[in-house]
Amino acid sequence: MNVDATIVGGDVDWDDYDSLTVSTDVVQVPAGLRDHERAHIVVESASVRFRFDGGDPTATDGIQADAGDTIELESQFEVAKFRVIRKDGSDSTLRIHAGMLV
């Protein structure tokens, strides 16, 4: 399943990458990626819940993404406002590529 925040065309220069561990505390995209216009996020190991409006998700509220899902953030606002927390008892790892429109 793919989880798309929005659908916007355009070429992207994917110029940055980071990993993020998701546990019982709400976390954001790492600070060095928050000024990017696009983020391609892969959920690697366990289900998470996220929001991209700046509000904090909980283990029971927010958009669910499972291991193997991708999350596409397609504006600087969405990247900066993205918040995520693990859904169940296991931590998850997110792999994040970030880029700018060219």
pLDDT the model gives residue 34: 94
Number of other CB atoms surrounding residue 46 within 10 Å: 17
* Structure-block tokens of residue 83: 């918040």
Q: Which parts of the chain register pLDDT below 70?
A: 1-10
CB 63 within 8 A of CB 6: no
Residue 74's nearest CA partner among 23, 10, 17 is: 10
* Number of domains forming the structure of the chain: 1
Q: What is the CATH number of the domain that holds 45?
A: 2.60.120.10
How much is the pTM?
0.88
Side chain identity, residue 61: D
Residue 23's nearest CA partner among 59, 64, 65 is: 59
* Structure-block tokens of residue 45: 């190991």
Residue 75 sits in which domain range?
A: 2-101
pLDDT the model gives residue 12: 93
pLDDT the model gives residue 9: 52
